[in-house]
Amino acid sequence: MDYLIGLNPSQKEAVEQTSGPVMIVAGAGSGKTRVITCRVAHLITKGVDPFNILVLTFTNKAAKEMRERIMKAVGPEAKNIWMGTFHSVFAKILRVEANKIGYPNNFTIYDTDDSKSLLRAILKEQQLDDKLYNANFVYNRISSAKNNLISPAEYLKNEHIQSEDFATGRGKLGEIYQIYAQRCFKAGAMDFDDLLFKTNVLLKDNPEVLYKYQNKFKYLMVDEYQDTNYSQYLIVKRLAAINENICVVGDDAQSIYAFRGANIQNILNFEKDYPDLKVFKLEQNYRSTQNIVNAANSIIANNKNQLKKTVFSENETGDKIKILRAFSDNEEGKVIAEGIAQERAVKGYHYNDFAILYRTNAQSRAMEEALRKLNIPYKIYGGLSFYQRKEIKDLIAYFRLTFNPNDEEALKRVINYPRRGIGDTTIERIIIAADKADSTLWEVITDSANHLDGRSSAAVANFATVIQSFQVLAKTHSAYDCALHIAQHSGLLKDLYDDKSVEGLNRYENIQELLNGIKEFSEREDIEEKGLDIFMQDIALLTNDDNDKNPDADTVSLMTIHSAKGLEFKNVCIVGLEENLFPSQMSLNSRADLEEERRLFYVAITRAEKKLTISYATSRYRWGTLTSCEPSRFIDEIDPKYLELDFKPQQKTENPFFNQERSSWSSQSGGDTFSKPKPATAPKTTSILPKAHVPSEGFAPSDTTNLQVGMDVEHERFGFGKVINLEGNKPDIKATIFFKELGQKQLLLKFAKLRIVS
C-alpha cells in the first residue's frame, strides 16, 4: 500500500472511506488527481473487481493520466476499470444496447460541424430567415434542450418554451428540432449531446438495462462534479441508486461552465440526495505561493453561494501580485511582453513557464503583436483542432461511410470529392428521391438506375461500388491497412499529392500524420478492440482539452481562462481586468452570473505557481471606437496586503480603484440583480488613479551603451529617475533605477528604452 505514503490526513481519510456516498471538496492545487487514483487503487487492493468500478472524467487526457497512475500502484488490473469521459463511457454502452432504442450498433457520432451542416440544410429546405434561424443559434438551442432532457415532442408541448420562441419570432424552433432528430435517426447518427440524452432514454425505458449496469458498476467516482449538467447528474443518480457507493470530487469555486449547461447546484445540493453523506475537504494547496493562495481566498470569499472551506499553502510566501496599468490595449500587450522578456532574462525561466490568460479570444491580438515585436515565441490554445481540418474530415467521412452508409452528412461531403462527375443537380435529385420514397440517400444511390438518368446513374453507381468495396475490406483488414486502402482508392491521397502548393503539401502531410496515428493505434497493447470503427469513435469523442498541448514546446501560452482550467504555470499574466470586460457586461444582470465570473477569476489566479501579474488598460478599442475603461471590481476585492501596484495612488482611500457607488445592489427582483455600472465620476477629494507620466516632447530612447551610475534618465511610463546600480555583462546588463514616483525598479537595459537626461 505504498500509494498511501505521503498523503496528508485529509487525503488519507478520503482515500480510505470506500463505502457509501462521499463528497471530496478539492480546493485548487490540493492533489485531487492523486486522491482519486489512490482511492481507486485502494478499492482494488481491498478486493473490489476493477470491472465493477466506474470512473467518469471530463477529458480523455485526465482519464489516461489516472489509469497510468493506478497501473503503477496495482499493476495491469487497472486496464479493466471502466474509466473515461461521460461521452466515451456511455457511447461504449450505447454500442451494445443501441438496438433497444431503435439505433444500429454502428451508429455514427456527429461532431459539431456535422450537426450544424445538417441544420443549415434543414433551414434552407424550410426557407427560413437565416438572421432569425442562424445554424449556430439553433444548434445551441437544441443542445440546451437535450442537456435538460427535453425531447422534440416535449419541446413542442411546453407552453413556456413555445411562448418564448414565438415572442422572439422563432416559432419554428420546435419543428426544426423535430426534423433534425428524425434526420439523425434516419442516418443512424447521434450527435454529441445524444450520447447522454439517449443514455437517459435507454435507462429510463429499459429497467432490465438499468438493473444490469447498476449491478455492474458497484462503485462510482465522478471527477469535476461541479461541471455536470442535469443529464449527467441523472445518469449518475440512476446508476448509483442500488449500492450508493458513489464518490464525487470537485470544487464549487471552480464551476465556470454554466454556458455549457453545467449546474453548480449539483454539488451544492449533493447532500440532499444522500443524507448520510461523508464530506472530506482537501484544503492544502501544493501548487501556489502563500500570497497567491491568500489573494484567491480573498476574492472567492465575496461569493455567497458556496461550500465553505479554507484553502491554505505551506509553500514560500512568494512575490506579491503585481498590478499593471496601461493606457491602451496595445500598450498593455507591450508591457506584458517586455515583462516576460525581462523576467526570463533575469531569473532564467523558459518561455513555457509563462501563460497569458484573457477573458475573450479577441484580446489575443494585442498580445500577439507585442510578442512578435520582441521575437518571443508563443502558441495560442483553442485554435483549429487537427481533426477539424478539411482534409482530415474528408478522409474520416470515407471511414464513416464504410461503417455506416446511411450517414447523410458524410455522404454529401465526399460523394463528389475528389470530383467524379456528380454535380449539385444530381445530389439534389438524390435528396428529392429519398424524401419521396421515405428512404435514405444510400438506398437511392444503390438503386440509382431507377432514380437517375444514364450518365448520372453511372457515376453514382461507381461511387456506391467504391464504398461497398471498402465495406468488404473493413471486415478482414486491420485499422491501418483499411485506412491506407481507403485513402488511396478513394482518390483523396492522389488529389492532395497532385497539389504542389505549400497548402497542398501541408494537407498531404496531415493525411500522412492521420495514418501514422492509426498505425500507432493498431499497435497499442492497452486496448483489445483495434478496428478502424473504434479509432473513429475515439477521435469523435476527443474534447477540447485533449488537443495537443505539448508541454515541452518552449513557447509562451496564450489562452482564454476557460481553456486554462486544469493547467498550471510558474508565471501567469491575467490581462484585461476592466469593468464590462472582466467581469463581462453580460454577467452584471444577476448575482448568479456575477458569482460565476468571480469563480472564473479565482480559476485564473490559481493557475499561477510562483508569480502572478494582473493588468488593465484605461482605454481600449471596441467596435472601432476608443473607449475609456474602468479597473475591474475584482481588483478591489483582493486584499491590498497581497498586491504590489505598478503605480502610486496620489492619496490612499478606502477604495483606490473605482467609485464605490458602482457596487450598490439594486432593489429589483428582491435585490438579486446587479445594478448597471454607472459612468465613472471624478472623486471630490482624490483621483481614482494617479495621473500617468507624460513623456517629454519628442521622447526617444538613448544609446545606453555608456550608461553610468548617477545618471538621470527618463522612462516612457515610469517617469524620471536616477541610476543607482549597474550589474551583469552585455547584452544582459541590469540597471537599478530609483524613480521619483514609483521608487526602485530593476530593468534590463536592452528592453528598458531609457532617455538619458544628464
List, by residue number, the catalytic residues.
32-33, 223-224, 254, 607
- Of 388, 434, 394, nearest in space to 413 by CA: 394
C-alpha separations of 564 from 9, 332, 333, 341, 545 in Å:
29, 21, 19, 22, 9
- What are the distances in angstroms from CA 72 to CA 61, 79, 561, 625? 17, 11, 32, 57
Is 33 a known ligand-binding residue? yes
Contact (CB, 8 A) for 614 and 322: yes
Cell of 565: 482550467
Helix intervals (H) in 126-193: 135-147, 152-157, 159-167, 173-186
Residues 6+ apart with CB under 8 A from 520: none
Query: Is 102 labeled as ligand-binding?
Result: no
Residue with cell 440544410: 121
Q: Exposed/middle/buried for 14, CB within 10 Å: 0-12, 13-18, 19+?
A: buried
H or E segment to which residue 351 belongs: none
Assign residue 629 a region: left if phi > 0, alpha if psi is -120 to 50, beta otherwise?
A: beta
Among the listed residues 693, 731, 756, the one whose alpha carbon sits nearest the alpha carbon of residue 331: 693
Instruction: Find residue 55's DSSP bridge partners.
Output: 83, 221
Residues contacting residue 741 through CB under 8 Å, at least 6 positions apart:
647, 648, 690, 693, 718, 719
Q: Distance between CA atoms of 162 and 478, rounded to whole angstroms?
A: 50
Report yes or no: 21 and 246 within 8 Å, Cβ to Cβ: yes
Indicate the burial class of 56 (C-beta count within 10 angstroms; 0-12, 13-18, 19 or more). Answer: buried
Q: CA 166 to CA 175: how far, in whole Å?
A: 12
| Number of residues that this document lists for the chain | 758
Grid cell listed for 209: 438495462
The per-type count for the chain, helices as H runs and strands as E runs, is: 30, 22
Nearest Cα neighbor of 517 from 504, 535, 543, 493 is 535
Is 31 assigned a ligand-binding role in the annotation? yes
C-alpha cell at 557: 501560452
Give the integer Cα–Cα distance in Å for 680 and 683. Answer: 9
28 annotated ligand binder: yes
Specify whether the CB–CB gap between 615 and 332 falls below 8 A: yes
If we measure between CA atoms, which residue out of 275, 277, 295 comes closest to residue 285?
Answer: 295
Residue with cell 524613480: 739
**Residue 318, Cβ neighbours under 10 Å: how many?**
20
Task: For residue 494, give Cα distances in angstroms to 291, 387, 474.
Answer: 59, 20, 21
DSSP 479-537: HHHHHHHHHHHTSHHHHHHH--SHHHHHHHHHHHHHHHHHHHHHT-SS-S---HHHHHH
Q: Is the peptide bond before 418 cis (omega within 30 degrees of 0)?
A: yes
C-alpha cell at 28: 485548487
The conformation of residue 581, written as its DSSP 8-state character, comes to B
Give the DSSP letter of residue 307.
-
- Pairing of β 719-727 and β 712-715: antiparallel
Question: Do the Cβ atoms of 289 and 609 come closer than 8 Å?
Answer: yes
Quote the CA–CA distance of 351 and 364 in Å, as a whole number.
17
Contact 95, 148 (CB under 8 A): no
With cell 514609483, the residue in question is 742
Residues comprising the binding site? 26-33
Residues comprising the binding site for ATP? 26-33
